[in-house]
Structure 1
């Protein structure tokens, strides 16, 4: 007997404008502010950003190494391995992200993990951050109340694709196990793919086939 599987709706992709990212950055408490730019400028997942260590930030080469994340085990935040083997990666660090991280490190001098809670200097729990830090900043920035940290990751991917970065590179930087995941999520954001394909094929075959 044939069994029809239920339809699974695609992930909703919410993209933030540069002005919205800037507003959110300014609305955040100072000790967490650089997290916004790490998400929007390098595409790290929330747990990966929470687990970013100082020695994984290469200011000379302009790269961030992602090889750990904060996970919660029995209500305690701990450092753990990334989501999958593909999540262990290096991602480019734009100048504005580097500047924000340099300022953060200069102000707070973290010995290891870059971002910690303000009072007790613990690893950051996602539920605490989202309720007490993120949501108030989202409201103050005038964004939709259901805006999430993951929307910064979507914004990173869409900005890179709109600038002509190959989707294979974006997929690698996002740490997706398969490029299929990236195409399913962001393929529609690749600019003018059909027109560029027509131009390339016409250039290759047009003269040989005497097509005007």
Structure 2
């Protein structure tokens, strides 16, 4: 129901009732302006895009406090979401009053403080998820962060640091006896830090030459650890080289395993080590090996680059690394695969090798 009438003061009063029967009214200088407003509100009701102007009176932080407990998140996701909302400069502004300028100022502030582009993008996307939830709940009509420019991250091929075989050899030779197998698992099995830390003796199948990735270690407040499935559901089976299995068998023979679960590596209180412990030993090892600029995660890049150089296809590399989708593998390592020119040149070279048995035949056949 909608109507428009002129009042005694000459103003035009337009009013309508929304889907819940609540009445809304506004005053206009002309009948045309009032009718245009009524037409807009009626169209929104008909198309299902109508939002009660008073619904967005709740602040972003208050909406998040009510919305977040309903979400199914991994612990680290929840931590990241909380960090993003705590640092959001417009968290205490009513949703209906949040403007694109608020979002832009927040992004600019993070950039001015020197935060990495990837960190800014993650925090912006986390806050954007909350704003989009408010749109779906019809608290606001549109997401004010839509289209806001985020800082560009460096190209993967420019930012990726793949250690050389010589650097890896130096790292392994200077590692503590218990830490060398950990480094090897990351470099020759592609395991993430938390996955390697969570390995149990039962995960290593020496007979079938396989390593099963079934869990990961996550650090909890107070230095405690939490055991959970690998990120993004990336449980997988690694086809292990014999030399890696031999290194693990020597580790078990010389140092044993820990606890009833049979952890291969141990940290505080008999638990597997968390990331702070591993990072300490990694920095100590890298310094002793005089290897600079290499992170432990770069060993995973070393593994991936080796698979690609050996001719493994995208799906094979995806499964070995535990990526959720092949596109993730391509986005990360696509620059390492040979391009069309490389493949064409190699194919043509193969054809020539098949036709000309040796260099003498080649020269004799093609010489003028």
TM-score (norm 1): 0.85
Partner of 2:291: 143
How much does 1:82 deviate?
0.9
How much does 1:165 deviate?
1.2
Taking CA–CA contacts closer than 8 Å with sequence separation of 6 or more, which of the two structures ends up with the larger relative contact order?
1
Partner of 1:116: 266
- Give the Cα separation in 2 of the matches to 1:187 and 1:49: 25
- Give the Cα separation in 2 of the matches to 1:193 and 1:158: 18
Equivalences for residues 97-112 of structure 1 within 5 A: 97-111=244-258, 112=262
More helix by share: 2
- Give the Cα separation in 1 of the matches to 2:254 and 2:235: 28
- Give the Cα separation in 2 of the matches to 1:28 and 1:198: 42
Q: Which region of structure 1 is more displaced relative to structure 2, 47-56 or 103-112? A: 103-112
Deviation per residue, 1:104-151 (Å, 9 max, x gap): 01112215111113x8543202112212x111110111111x421101
Question: 4, 13, 23: which is aligned to 2:160?
Answer: 13
Query: Quick check: 1:58 aligned with 2:205?
Result: yes
Contact between 1:84 and 1:177, CA under 8 Å: does it hold in 2? yes
- Give the Cα separation in 2 of the matches to 1:53 and 1:173: 19
How much does 1:53 deviate?
1.1
Query: Quick check: 1:128 aligned with 2:265?
Result: no
Q: Which region of structure 1 is more displaced relative to structure 2, 149-158 or 181-190? A: 181-190
- Give the Cα separation in 1 of the matches to 2:202 and 2:270: 18
Consecutive unaligned residues in structure 2, runs of 5 or more: 1-99, 101-145, 351-368
Consecutive unaligned residues in structure 1, runs of 5 or more: 204-212
Contact between 1:167 and 1:183, CA under 8 Å: does it hold in 2? yes
- Give the Cα separation in 1 of the matches to 2:304 and 2:212: 18
Contact between 1:89 and 1:173, CA under 8 Å: does it hold in 2? yes
Q: 1:83 to 1:10 in 2, by over 3 A?
A: farther
How much does 1:4 deviate?
4.7
Partner of 2:26: none
Equivalences for residues 45-194 of structure 1 within 5 A: 45-75=192-222, 76-85=224-233, 87-111=234-258, 112-117=262-267, 121-131=270-280, 133-144=281-292, 146-191=293-338, 193-194=340-341
Tell me the secondary structure at the aligned position of residue 231 of structure 2. coil
For the pair shown, the structure with the greater C-alpha radius of gyration is 2
Q: 1:79 to 1:4 in 2, by over 3 A?
A: closer
TM-score (norm 2): 0.50
Tell me the secondary structure at the aligned position of residue 9 of structure 1. coil
- Give the Cα separation in 1 of the matches to 2:272 and 2:346: 51
Q: Which region of structure 1 is more displaced relative to structure 2, 165-174 or 108-117? A: 108-117
